[in-house]
Amino acid sequence: MAVQRISREFKDIDLSFTPHPITKDLQILKNESAIRRAVRNIVETIPTEVPFDSLFGSYVRASLFNFCDFATAARIQSQIEIAVKNYEPRVNNLRIEVDPRPDSNTFLCTIIFDIIGQEIPTQTFTFLLEANR
């Protein structure tokens, strides 16, 4: 049986670099918001973008040149799933839903996951990918 780890708190920096309105400190992202950001970073990174780690990222952007249909959606879903499974070890029970919306030429992506080792409810976040055609 796999060892169930208890994670410490996850803390990441916010790349918007907006200072806290009162303390004027740089804002930080904690736990689920930090992980949500990380998942999104992975999906949005184009492979070869990160120095010396040419595989990091997902090929979602390349798929956005294809037709906005279910076939492309399935491909995007698979690409997001592979990328997150490979590069985000803090999540499990990953489910990806990609819904093509030909009228607006977009894909609605919903990513659902649990965070390992934290008593945090299942996370769901959505974002829109706009096809380039």
Closest to other proteins by CB, 50 or 71: 50
Task: Quote the CA–CA distance of 110 and 84 in Å, as a whole number.
Answer: 13
Interface residue with other proteins among 2, 4, 22, 89 (CB under 8 A) is 89
Q: What is the DSSP string of 2-15?
A: ---PPP---EEE-T
Residue closer to other proteins (CB basis): 29 or 64: 29
Do 113 and 39 meet the contact criterion of CB atoms below 8 Å apart?
A: yes
Q: Please tell me the distance from the alpha carbon of residue 131 to that of residue 121, in angstroms, as a whole number.
A: 32
User: Within 24-43, which residues bind other proteins (CB under 8 A)?
Assistant: 28-29, 34, 37-39, 41-42
C-beta closer to other proteins: residue 29 or 76: 29
CB of 92 to other proteins, least distance (A): 14
